[in-house]
Amino acid sequence: MIVLTMALAAAQAALPAAAAPASPPIKIVVLGDSLSAGLGLSAHDSFPAKLQKALKDKGIDIDMINAGVSGDTSSGGRDRLDWSVPEGTDGVIVELGANDALRGTNPSVTRAALSDIVSRLKGRGIAVLLCGMLAPPNYGSDYAARFNSIYPDLAKSFGIALYPFFLDGVAADAKLNQADGIHPTAGGVDIIVARIMPTVQAFLGSIRGQSR
């Protein structure tokens, strides 16, 4: 009897430990304009698609929704927020404001719309990564100062993650932009993804930490 018990114990010890249940993928929405919608590019070359692939290559599993709408302003993003960001979303990457700047929209309008977006998302318990935009120089230094300060101010006041300039390393580089000089090529999107990746990884890490 003792021998049988010892044999059973040895057999159980030899069994592989049960694998820990895998964490569900983080659900992310990219709420943006044509820069994230992928205007002029194939679907797999858009920013959300390339970001998701880059994260997957690093072993980070996420469900990514591309909620980019070409031509959208920050006010337009606010108006469609509820149906663009479904229930169960863990985090939103907000990429809005480029069209506001191109049209010379009063920075107070842009600030109010982005503030409302962030406030409503936080009210739903959804984490926010805000992507900054810079005003073109043709509107003058006063406009640029008022517009460019929107993003760091909101990030600080709401305590949210900030990537200072979405087009960092790509803006004004003809080789990385399409013929319109505004929208990045697939290679330009690669640069954006590479540069924003550390910020996104930290953002996703904070979401995982809060969900424990």
Rg of the chain taking only CA atoms, in angstroms = 22
Q: Measuring CA to CA, which residue among 88, 67, 79 is closest to residue 114?
A: 79
Q: Measuring CA to CA, which residue among 41, 29, 54 is closest to residue 191?
A: 54
Determine the Cα–Cα distance for residues 68 and 36; give it in Å rounded to an integer. Answer: 5
Q: Give me the active site residues, please.
A: 34, 180, 183
Residue 14: C-alpha distances to residues 4, 11, 20, 197 (Å): 15, 5, 18, 41
Task: Please provide residue 46's backbone torsions phi and psi, each rounded to the nearest 5 degrees.
Answer: -70, 160
The two beta strands, 62-68 and 26-32, are parallel
